Amino acid sequence: MNESLATYDQAAVMEDTPRFAMDKKLYVNFYVRAVMSGFKSAQEGRPIFDEVDYIRIIIPGDKNSILDVPVDEQHKMRFEAQYDRFKKNQEQAVSGTPLEVWPQMTVGLVAELKAMNVHTVEQLADMPDQLAQKIMGSHALRTKAKTFLDAAAGEAGNSKLALELEKRDNEIDLLKKQMADLLAAATKAPAPAPVTTK
């Protein structure tokens, strides 16, 4: 395993998180590579290539730590969502808020961060200190990214609460209408005939 990726996994242990908890911060891409088969090539007397599934794992912000290896069962399990999209020939887009849509970013800064394999605001906010040092003003930028994400999470909670309150109000209005209809029906109904006993 690449030394930087091993350090990345160790960071999860140091933060007392499950082993692969930091996987969502990685840039992961599955692809097919043509690999020459020595045995088949020797038999045929010409180069014969097999298509082999490969995985490329990059720590955002560290352009020197790239793991590029054939896919094994652990990769399929560990990055199940990305592998599933790969097998269905779907885009393996990084999940998060693209840097381009965040108002704090300039075109140059987006290009600089993408060269370091940082594609989302979430990746920027979670970038380790030793990698962020390579970017001028990274501390302030990461703080702004964290603040933006916290505010967005709070706004999401507010929006959810507003929807729940609106749903509750609609249910109350419906119950009020049903009660009014029942009362109206009860006042319009003829009085029951007196029951006589003989």
Indicate if the pLDDT at residue 185 is higher than 80.
yes
* Over residues 103-111, mean pLDDT: 81
* Over residues 148-152, mean pLDDT: 79
Which among 28, 9, 31 is positioned nearest to 95, based on CA atoms?
Answer: 28
| 193 SS3 class | coil
Q: Name, in order, each residue with C-beta under 8 angstroms of 148's C-beta and a sequence gap of 6 or more.
A: 102, 104, 121, 125
8 A C-beta contact, residue 62 and residue 116: yes
Q: Give per-residue pLDDT as tens, 37-51.
A: 888 778 777 777 788
> What is the separation, in whole angstroms, between the first and last Cα of the chain?
99
8 A C-beta contact, residue 107 and residue 117: no
Indicate if the pLDDT at residue 13 is higher than 50.
no
- Residue 117 is predicted with a pLDDT of 76
Q: Give per-residue pLDDT as tens, 59-70.
A: 877 777 788 899
pTM of the model: 0.46
Q: Which residues make beta-bridge pairs with 57?
A: 28, 67
Tokens of 38: 């020595």
Mean pLDDT score of the chain: 77
Tokens of 3: 């030394």
- The CA-atom distances, in angstroms, between 89 and each of 16, 132, 150 are 36, 33, 34
